[in-house]
């Protein structure tokens, strides 16, 4: 399973800034305190749907210590959004969710800013609240965006493949189920924050904690009508992202305040705003219908996915399309129809979250697979093996899968938990407890092609043959920078310590789409590798002259460039690098990667939407308390096909962290809304997993495959890690006590309800 | 906005005496960060739910966002800066966190290490289960806690050598 070894690619180097992080000396935006700093506050709607009649900021403006007050009329282009520009920077005529921003201001202290926000008077006329996505798209429902051509239906994604009716006619058994997923907040430990300042030349510097610094630069320049060259975005240490630190929610406000006051201005969300104002995970109602033959072959599948998109489109299209394209799972499904519908409602604002729709569909699909296997009286493992995708198969878009470690992942995860010997409702040694086993699998795409997806990098070989890489890839905790250094070192043939990274400044490195969609290792890595390969070309050309040999006969090893098979005919790398510089042939090069795509037909979902695919299988053993409904995960094995593991320790860290986030999605987390108002917007009433939650024993397993499009065969791992965890646990609960959980999270009450022990609504 | 009464307080901060005049309504986390520039102590929830602002006060692990600064009068406070620094030498727990991959985004890390230090002071050889119980007041969203627990166990077992060498720092282009 492991690929032939390379070095430094394939070795577990710790991240370079680990020591600063552990010392507490790494600077996050909240730690930046320039002289004259002003502190911002945002007045938000606090109501889910209303027309704004009047905004009176006079009392706030008169408060001592207030420097600047902004309304939407101050924003030159007051609309943004990645697909539809349907979201105002500050609302002027209407608010569509409780966190919609209406007034932004800054003052001499956080307290003065908060006090000033309380003095703003806004008169509203409340409008009917749209809180149910099914109701939202019925004719006559109150509209959130009156000008949107399809009403509260934001958009629709379809897959049409094969002949559905013929597929169902061929089936011996047809199973239909509905699953409901719920919201999830990213819950990065650091809340959203930014600081903007204006330099002596009138240029804006925006310090961010962002996954996407270049998108921040683009958006700030766009909404403030500034040339991009006047906006510099600087990345401080970032305290977690998970898809949440993606959108320009605070940066334009801080930038405009800084321009108006000439002073540095900081905006920071409270923990409550994290829940009520920033983006959250889409909740999905998912109808699955599958036809199978008696011997367990899938003949047809039909999916209807209804996404609650909240008040604005945000990354809803990406979520709806990924859910559609991946929703039928890592299985051969010859006849498939998917309808994925994104709706507007007044419930929060759903956007990018680790897993992008596939977390939700994996939960539904894999519980559905479990139900079918049981109806067929087949082992769920055998049923999955029977239908598993393999390399050379088509994904549900018709795109060919080039590398696939799915079979190996299924084997490895089930072997790790001793699949054949556990579960089946056997009683636990103590009390009224029963044990079950559960399995779940996943396909996830890496490197989307439906939209531009570029990373650029510069590589410069210095006079002593050390290497400097300029990259715009943001490291928000996932360890991107050590991975890019490993890839660069491998390509040049030097050790890791010879590679330095210059990053965190949009002035210095070329455009990078961002640390999103599990794309950094694959796409950022390809860009870095290409840049280094070009810079290496200078060295090889120079060495060929110096040694008087043909360039193609040379190789780099042990700090030297030598003729293959004649190691004595060589020059040291520093000698060659210095000669390049002295001859004026500076070894500096750019590299870029933007995965090639084919036209994707939006009426059939057929084409080539992604560069490659990763696969995973999680196997869980769970103990359910028959009296209380409490579930304890005794063990979880999480096997992930990641392509080549560039840094196994980082890969393990992603799998361990992702799996626990997946545990939270399935077992603990849900923002509860009442008429569009979040009822639990804090970390006491909305629980994320602690060290005591989650599996008593957790085993990450790396499955290596060689992906031809990836740098040294690498694919990715970040988002996929959390997707199969929930259904693996829920299937184990079913195996233990025969209770099928069809709504989340699986709290003890929900389990007792599914067991028929208590009644009532969720 | 009524002005809060101010009071001068003195306490030991990482062994050094400090004196600071602050509003009586100000929390310890804000005095540490804003008045004393001890930026290693993080604030993240302001409700005592996440443990990012953990410090040790007179031997007890506390959330400094829940304690008014005036309560620190005469106390001895230890923050992450008091454990060690890159210049002055890192504490074994800090080294262990860095080398075991126990930091991802790092925002919970100072609080987590301070909590780990308080645990090892009270119980030099905690089991994995004891570590998990002790850390329930410190939330981490990145790591799943596995490598954090491993890093603390390594120090308890006296495995001070890092699993891997700490390599050169990333060059930040600014500041």
Q: What is the pLDDT of residues A327-346, one digit of tens each?
A: 999 999 999 999 999 999 99
pLDDT at B1: 56
In whole angstroms, give the CA distance from residue A476 to residue A213: 11
A-chain residues within 8 Å CB-CB of B27? none
For the cut 50, the answer to whether the pLDDT of residue B166 exceeds it is no
pLDDT at A559: 93
In whole angstroms, give the CA distance from residue A381 to residue A619: 10
- Categorize the per-residue pLDDT at A226 as very low, low, confident or very high, splitting at 50, 70 and 90: very high
Burial degree of A62 (CB within 10 A; 0-12, 13-18, 19+): exposed
- Please give the residue of chain A at the shortest CA–CA distance from B151: A22
Handedness of CA A515, A516, A519, A523 (dihedral sign): negative
| pTM greater than 0.90 | yes
Determine the residue among A8, A20, A24 to mutate to test chain B binding: the one whose Cβ has the most chain B Cβ atoms within 10 Å: A24
pLDDT at B163: 54
What fold, for B6-83?
Ubiquitin-like (UB roll) (3.10.20)
Q: Nearest CB to B169: which of A20, A28, A234?
A: A20
In whole angstroms, give the CA distance from residue A430 to residue B82: 46
A-chain residues within 8 Å CB-CB of B168? 16, 497, 500
What fold, for A32-127+192-268?
Aldehyde Oxidoreductase; domain 3 (3.90.1170)
pLDDT at A72: 98
For the cut 90, the answer to whether the pLDDT of residue B165 exceeds it is no
B130 has a chain A CB within 8 A of its CB: no
How far off is chain A from B64, nearest CA to CA, in Å? Answer: 16
B89 has a chain A CB within 8 A of its CB: no
Q: Which CATH class is domain A283-449+600-754?
A: alpha beta
For the cut 80, the answer to whether the pLDDT of residue A269 exceeds it is yes
For the cut 70, the answer to whether the pLDDT of residue A479 exceeds it is yes
| CB pair distance less than 8 Å for A657 and B43 | no
SS3 state of residue A466: coil
- Please give the residue of chain B at the shortest CA–CA distance from A16: B169
In whole angstroms, give the CA distance from residue A323 to residue A357: 5
- Categorize the per-residue pLDDT at A699 as very low, low, confident or very high, splitting at 50, 70 and 90: very high
Q: Nearest CB to A23: which of B46, B85, B163?
A: B85
For the cut 70, the answer to whether the pLDDT of residue B167 exceeds it is no
| CB pair distance less than 8 Å for B86 and A17 | no
In whole angstroms, give the CA distance from residue A704 to residue A404: 9
Q: How many residues does chain A have?
A: 762
Q: Nearest CB to B142: which of A27, A240, A652?
A: A240
In whole angstroms, give the CA distance from residue A741 to residue B50: 29
- For chain B, what are the domain ranges? 6-83, 92-156
For residue A481, is the peptide bond before it cis, meaning its omega torsion is within 30 degrees of 0? no
In whole angstroms, give the CA distance from residue A620 to residue A625: 16
How far off is chain A from B73, nearest CA to CA, in Å? Answer: 24
Q: How confident is the model over A500-552, as pLDDT tens digits?
A: 999 999 999 999 999 998 999 999 999 999 999 999 999 999 999 999 999 99
Q: Which among A560, A744, A556, A737 is positioned nearest to A631, based on CA atoms?
A: A737
Q: What are phi and psi of A41, to 5 degrees?
A: -150, 150
Q: Nearest CB to B110: which of A13, A24, A497?
A: A24
Q: Which among A432, A362, A284 is positioned nearest to A616, based on CA atoms?
A: A362
pLDDT at A758: 86
For the cut 70, the answer to whether the pLDDT of residue B44 exceeds it is yes
Within 8 A by CB and 6+ apart from A138, the residues are none
A-chain residues within 8 Å CB-CB of B171? 468, 500-503
In this structure, which CATH number among 1.10.150.120, 3.40.50.1820, 1.20.140.160, 1.20.1270.360 belongs to the domain B92-156?
1.10.150.120
B-chain residues within 8 Å CB-CB of A21? 97-98, 103, 106, 109
CB A365 within 8 Å of CB A357: no
B66 has a chain A CB within 8 A of its CB: no
Measuring CA to CA, how many Å separate B110 from each of A29, A743, B80, B82?
16, 37, 6, 11
A-chain residues within 8 Å CB-CB of B84? 23
B28 has a chain A CB within 8 A of its CB: no
pLDDT at A268: 98
Q: Which among A567, A533, A564 is positioned nearest to A550, based on CA atoms?
A: A564
Q: Which among B96, B148, B32 is positioned nearest to A694, based on CA atoms?
A: B148
| CB pair distance less than 8 Å for A19 and B94 | yes
In whole angstroms, give the CA distance from residue A360 to residue A12: 32
Angle CA A330–A336–A342, to nearest 5: 90
CB A634 within 8 Å of CB A624: no
Fold matches, A283-449+600-754 and A454-494+509-593:
yes
In whole angstroms, give the CA distance from residue A759 to residue A752: 9
B-chain residues within 8 Å CB-CB of A25? 39-40, 85-86
Compute the average pLDDT of residues A202-231: 97
Give the number of other Cβ atoms within 10 Å of residue B73's Cβ: 11
SS3 state of residue A261: helix
CB A359 within 8 Å of CB A110: no
- For chain A, what are the domain ranges? 32-127+192-268, 283-449+600-754, 454-494+509-593
For the cut 90, the answer to whether the pLDDT of residue A245 exceeds it is yes
- Please give the residue of chain B at the shortest CA–CA distance from A506: B173
- Categorize the per-residue pLDDT at A431 as very low, low, confident or very high, splitting at 50, 70 and 90: confident
In whole angstroms, give the CA distance from residue A528 to residue A189: 30
Sheet holding A566-572, edge to edge: A554-557, A560-563, A566-572
For the cut 50, the answer to whether the pLDDT of residue A278 exceeds it is yes
Lowest mean pLDDT among A163-167, A430-434, B141-145: A430-434
Q: Which among A512, A506, A537 is positioned nearest to A527, based on CA atoms?
A: A512
B65 has a chain A CB within 8 A of its CB: no
Q: Which among A641, A705, A735, A162 is positioned nearest to A435, based on CA atoms?
A: A735
CB A127 within 8 Å of CB A308: no
Give the number of other Cβ atoms within 10 Å of residue A577's Cβ: 25
Within 8 A by CB and 6+ apart from A401, the residues are A389, A390, A391, A392, A393, A394, A395, A612, A613
In whole angstroms, give the CA distance from residue A469 to residue A534: 13
pLDDT at B169: 37
Q: Nearest CB to B105: which of A238, A271, A496?
A: A238
B-chain residues within 8 Å CB-CB of A682? 45, 47, 49
Q: Own/partner pairs for A747-756, CB < 8 Å, 24+ apart?
A: A747/A629, A747/A667, A747/A668, A748/A625, A748/A628, A748/A629, A748/A630, A748/A631, A749/A629, A750/A629, A751/A624, A751/A629, A751/A630, A751/A631, A752/A628, A752/A629, A755/A626, A755/A629
In whole angstroms, give the CA distance from residue B8 to residue A581: 61
What fold, for A454-494+509-593?
Aldehyde Oxidoreductase; domain 4 (3.30.365)
pLDDT at B162: 55
Query: What's chain A's average pLDDT?
Result: 96
For the cut 90, the answer to whether the pLDDT of residue A4 exceeds it is no
How far off is chain A from B15, nearest CA to CA, in Å? Answer: 17
Radius of gyration in angstroms for the set of CA atoms belonging to chain B, rounded to a whole number: 17
Q: How confident is the model over B113-159, as pLDDT tens digits?
A: 999 999 999 999 999 999 999 999 999 999 999 999 999 999 999 98
Q: Which among A526, A646, A517, A510 is positioned nearest to A596, based on CA atoms?
A: A526
B-chain residues within 8 Å CB-CB of A14? 98-101, 162-164, 166-167
How far off is chain B from A346, nearest CA to CA, in Å? Answer: 26
Residues facing A455 on adjacent strands: A512, A593
Distance of CA A473 to the CA centre of its chain: 14
B6 has a chain A CB within 8 A of its CB: no
Size of interface A-B (CB pairs under 8 A): 229
For A407-446, the DSSP string reads: HHHHHHHHHHHTGGGS-TTEEPSSSSEEEEEEEEEEEEEE
A-chain residues within 8 Å CB-CB of B1? 111-112, 115
Burial degree of B16 (CB within 10 A; 0-12, 13-18, 19+): exposed
| CB pair distance less than 8 Å for A14 and B167 | yes
| CB pair distance less than 8 Å for A683 and B164 | no
CB B93 within 8 Å of CB B83: yes
Handedness of CA A62, A63, A65, A69 (dihedral sign): negative
- Please give the residue of chain B at the shortest CA–CA distance from A653: B143
Measuring CA to CA, how many Å separate A56 from each of A119, A126, B119?
9, 18, 53
Distance of CA A317 to the CA centre of its chain: 14
Q: Which among A501, A497, A491 is positioned nearest to A556, based on CA atoms?
A: A491
Rounded (10°) CA dihedral A133, A139, A145, A146: -170
How far off is chain B from A482, nearest CA to CA, in Å? Answer: 8
Measuring CA to CA, how many Å separate B124 from each of A533, B113, B157?
51, 14, 9
């Amino acid at each position: 399973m492991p690929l032939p070894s390379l070095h430094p690619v394939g070795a577990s180097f710790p991240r370079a800034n680990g020591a600063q992080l552990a010392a507490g000396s790494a600077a996050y935006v909240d730690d930046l305190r320039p002289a004259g700093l002003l502190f911002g506050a945002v007045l938000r709607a606090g109501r889910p749907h209303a027309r704004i009649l009047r905004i009176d900021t006079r009392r706030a403006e008169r408060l001592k210590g207030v420097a600047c007050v902004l309304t939407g009329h101050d924003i030159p282009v007051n609309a943004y959004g990645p697909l539809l520009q349907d979201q105002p920077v500050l609302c002027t005529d209407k608010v569509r969710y409780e966190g919609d921003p209406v007034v932004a201001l800054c003052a001499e202290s956080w307290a003065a800013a908060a006090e000033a926000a309380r003095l703003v008077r806004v008169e509203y006329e409340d409008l009917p609240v749209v809180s149910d996505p099914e109701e939202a798209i019925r004719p006559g429902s109150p509209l959130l965006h009156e000008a949107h051509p399809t009403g509260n239906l934001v958009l629709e994604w379809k897959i049409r493949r094969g002949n559905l009716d013929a597929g169902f006619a061929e089936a011996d058994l047809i199973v239909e189920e509905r699953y409901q997923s719920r919201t999830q907040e990213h819950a990065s430990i650091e809340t959203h924050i930014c600081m903007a300042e204006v330099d002596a030349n009138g240029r804006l510097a925006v310090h961010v904690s962002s996954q996407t610094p270049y998108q921040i630069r683009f958006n700030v320049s766009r909404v403030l009508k500034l040339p991009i060259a006047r906006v510099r975005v600087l990345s401080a240490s970032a305290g977690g992202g998970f898809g949440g630190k993606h959108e320009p929610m605070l940066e334009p406000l801080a930038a405009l305040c800084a321009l108006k006051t000439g002073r540095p201005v900081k905006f920071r969300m409270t923990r409550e705003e994290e829940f009520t104002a920033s983006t959250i995970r889409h909740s999905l109602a998912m109808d699955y219908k599958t036809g199978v033959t008696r011997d367990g072959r899938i003949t047809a599948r039909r999916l209807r996915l209804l996404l609650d998109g909240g008040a604005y489109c945000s990354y809803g299209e990406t979520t709806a399309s990924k859910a559609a394209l991946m929703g039928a799972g890592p299985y051969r499904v010859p006849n498939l129809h998917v309808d994925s519908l994104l709706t507007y409602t007044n419930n929060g604002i759903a956007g990018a979250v680790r897993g992008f729709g596939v977390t939700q569909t994996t939960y539904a699909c894999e519980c559905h697979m479990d139900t079918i296997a049981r109806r067929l009286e087949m082992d769920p493992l055998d049923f999955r093996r029977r239908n598993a995708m393999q390399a050379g198969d088509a994904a549900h878009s018709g795109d060919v899968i080039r590398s696939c470690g799915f079979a190996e992942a299924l084997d490895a995860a089930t072997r790790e938990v001793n699949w054949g010997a556990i579960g089946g409702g056997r009683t636990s040694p103590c009390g009224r407890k029963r044990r079950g086993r559960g399995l779940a699998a996943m396909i996830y795409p890496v490197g989307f092609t439906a939209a531009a997806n570029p990373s650029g990098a510069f590589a410069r070989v210095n006079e002593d043959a050390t290497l400097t890489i300029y990259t715009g890839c943001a490291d928000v905790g996932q360890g991107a920078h050590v991975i890019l250094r490993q890839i660069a070192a491998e390509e040049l043939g030097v050790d890791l310590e010879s590679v330095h990274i210059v990053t965190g400044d949009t002035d210095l490195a070329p455009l990078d789409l961002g640390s999103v969609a599990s794309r950094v290792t694959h796409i950022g890595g390809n860009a870095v590798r290409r840049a280094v390969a070009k810079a290496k070309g200078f060295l090889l050309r120079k060495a060929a002259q110096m040694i008087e040999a043909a360039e193609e006969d040379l190789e780099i090893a042990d700090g030297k460039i030598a003729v293959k098979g004649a190691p004595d005919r060589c020059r040291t790398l520093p000698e060659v690098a210095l000669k390049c510089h002295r001859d004026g042939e500076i070894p500096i090069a750019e590299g870029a990667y933007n995965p090639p795509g084919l036209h994707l037909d939006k009426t059939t979902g057929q084409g080539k939407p992604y560069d490659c695919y990763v696969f995973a299988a999680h196997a869980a053993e769970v103990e359910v308390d028959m009296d209380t409904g409490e579930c304890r995960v005794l063990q979880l094995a999480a096997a992930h096909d990641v392509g080549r593991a560039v840094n196994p320790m980082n890969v393990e860290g992603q799998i361990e962290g992702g799996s626990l986030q997946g545990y939270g999605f399935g077992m603990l987390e849900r923002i509860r809304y009442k008429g569009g108002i979040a009822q639990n917007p804090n970390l006491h009433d909305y629980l994320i997993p602690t060290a005591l939650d989650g599996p008593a024993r957790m085993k990450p397993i790396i499955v290596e495959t060689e992906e031809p499009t990836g740098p040294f065969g690498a694919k990715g791992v970040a988002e996929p890690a959390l997707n199969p965890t929930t259904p693996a646990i829920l299937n184990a609960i079913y195996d233990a006590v025969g209770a099928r959980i069809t709504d989340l999270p699986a709290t003890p009450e929900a389990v007792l309800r599914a067991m028929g022990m208590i009644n009532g609504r969720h | 906005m009524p002005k809060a009464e101010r009071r001068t307080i003195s306490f030991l901060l990482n062994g050094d005496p400090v004196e600071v005049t602050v509003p009586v309504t100000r929390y310890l986390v804000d005095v540490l960060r804003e008045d004393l520039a001890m930026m290693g102590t993080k604030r993240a929830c302001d409700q005592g739910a996440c443990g990012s602002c953990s410090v040790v006060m007179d031997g007890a692990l506390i959330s400094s966002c829940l304690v008014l600064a005036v309560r620190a009068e005469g106390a001895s406070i230890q923050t992450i800066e008091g454990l060690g620094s890159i210049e002055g030498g890192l504490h074994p727990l800090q080294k262990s966190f860095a080398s075991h991959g126990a930091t991802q985004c790092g925002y919970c890390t100072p609080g987590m290490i301070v909590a780990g230090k308080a645990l090892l002071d009270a119980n030099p050889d905690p089991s994995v289960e004891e570590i998990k119980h002790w850390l329930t007041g410190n939330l981490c969203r990145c790591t799943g806690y596995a490598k954090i627990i491993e890093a603390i166990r390594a120090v308890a077992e006296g495995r001070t050598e890092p699993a891997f060498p700490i390599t050169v720092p990333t060059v930040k282009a600014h500041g």
